[in-house]
Amino acid sequence: MEDKMQTKNIPTIIVIFGITGDLVKKKIMPALFSLFINNQLPTTFKIVGFSRQDISPKDFEKYLFETSAQYKDANIKTRKAFCKLFSYHSGVFENLADFEDLENHLRKIDDDWGICANKLFYLAVPPNLYEAIFKNLAASELTKPCSPEEGWTRILVEKPFGKNLETSEQLEELLSSLFKEVQIYRTDHYLAKEMLQNILAFRFSNNLFETNWGRQNIERVHIRLMEKIGVEDRGNFYDSVGALQDVGQNHLLQMLALVTMEHPREFSVDAIRKNRADILKTLVLPTEEDVRTSAFRAQYAGYRDIAGVAPDSQTETYFKIRAFLSHPKWKGVPFILESGKRLQDQRKDIEITLRHPNPCLCPKKEQHYKNKLTIGIEPIEGVTIHFGSKKEGFDMELEERTLDFRFRDAEKRTQYIEEYKKLLLDGIAGDQTLFVSSEEVRAMWRFIDPIIIGWRKNLMTLAYYQPDTSFVFADSFVE
């Protein structure tokens, strides 16, 4: 791993496949722009855009210039300078000759610089194109480093990694036959969220909670990713995946991993990734009975009218699932994974409920409060501890109070930009901590697969909810 402070001295070319797509426009490009204006990119740096569109370099520059107008702190001068970082290469992903042309394109940049630059290949394309790109990258030898010491090559892949365990294993097999694990960067932007990174700091850099972290003290954990937004213009993609594959198989299980993983002993990539994978491997695989009783799914009314969605779609836009770990530290503790779109409130957090003290010095006949620890991601980034406190006055009466920690002011958060900035810089620095390993991908699919299969068999019927309501399925159902 190279020192991240040294990224300025790492001559790099980023090749972005699918440069004119939505992901680049909304997330990758604003992140690159922010890195650019904050002078955080390598001094010797170029971006090569690759896409099927047959547009001239001039039109590409015009597209970039116009697109960059919407980015934070953009002015004409910086936008013009930003455009100078780019060049465009039109090609067909399935066509090897176009990758050989790309090689010439990259060699010209190397020749201009008089070095063999490092190359980061970013696949910002739909997953059905991965295979062709992987194969052509390998066949054209574009991913072959110039020498062991010069010009590393890496590939950065966006989720979803497959559609189920079988297809993800096929993809992994192909990837590992063509590239080494150290070259493969699988993104999950949740890992790059400040509050998710903070879980490690919170647990392992303090002595406040970690000593009793586990089943003796923790009664249940509720992980939520509740969104106000709907599927909007992503009908085509979303209808083929659904909420569980879209955010459950990755973001929610990564949150679970960070809350439950063993102490990594050191801040090293291998230790952290191994411990995340190890805990995910202890997820108890759901049986058909589990799906029948604790894998609830629902769809919001009106979802089927969205362009690209099948008129009789059975795709879930909401789920609430109860999971368990077989790890001795967590055995018997229910983990409720819940996510939905078009809900009334935006709420992304992890709520950890502690067991009631036993014995408890609690006033008789009064309502007793269990301690709760909430790690907030959105709308509030912070940690809230709920505890019982004595009420003011002569009597020994209790009430629930909170200790609140706010990570920063909401306006300081730059959603997606900050996550993608980290992912891009870490890709250049060679730090895989915030990227998902093949072991993690496998463990997550092993858990998700039986649920998808059970749903397909209709072991749990699809329910419906009114959009923009505070729909949550009764807790008693999954507890």
Residues at the contact surface with ligand BG6, assessed by CB under 6 A: 227, 246-247, 348
Rounded Cα gap, residues 8 and 41, in angstroms: 6
For tokens 């990227």, name the residue: 435
Burial of 56 (0-12, 13-18, 19+ CB in 10 A): exposed
Rounded Cα gap, residues 296 and 260, in angstroms: 23
Shortest CB 339 distance to ligand BG6, Å = 9
Rounded Cα gap, residues 126 and 108, in angstroms: 29
With beta carbons less than 8 A apart as the criterion, state whether 160 and 245 touch. yes
Q: Find the DSSP H helices in 140-287.
A: 165-178, 194-204, 235-241, 243, 253-260, 269-280
Of the two residues 290 and 426, which places its CB atom closer to ligand BG6 in the complex?
426
Rounded Cα gap, residues 430 and 185, in angstroms: 9
Which of 89, 189, 222, 251 is an active site residue? 251
How is residue 119 annotated by DSSP?
E
N residues, the chain = 479
Rounded Cα gap, residues 307 and 10, in angstroms: 44
How is residue 124 annotated by DSSP?
-
Of the two residues 209 and 237, which places its CB atom closer to ligand BG6 in the complex?
237
Shortest CB 348 distance to ligand BG6, Å = 6
Q: Is 251 annotated in the active site?
A: yes
Over its C-alpha atoms, the chain yields an Rg (Å, rounded) of 24
The encoded tokens of residue 436 equal: 């998902």
Of the two residues 42 and 242, which places its CB atom closer to ligand BG6 in the complex?
242
Rounded Cα gap, residues 5 and 60, in angstroms: 32
Shortest CB 84 distance to ligand BG6, Å = 30
Q: Which residues contact 372 (CB under 8 A, 6 or more apart)?
A: 351, 352, 353, 354, 384, 385, 386
Shortest CB 304 distance to ligand BG6, Å = 18
CA atoms in the 13 A half-sphere facing the CB of 166: 3
Of the two residues 348 and 421, which places its CB atom closer to ligand BG6 in the complex?
348
Shortest CB 19 distance to ligand BG6, Å = 20
Shortest CB 445 distance to ligand BG6, Å = 16
- Can you tell me whether residue 212 is helix, strand or coil? helix
Of the two residues 221 and 255, which places its CB atom closer to ligand BG6 in the complex?
255
Of the two residues 247 and 452, which places its CB atom closer to ligand BG6 in the complex?
247
Active site residues: 251
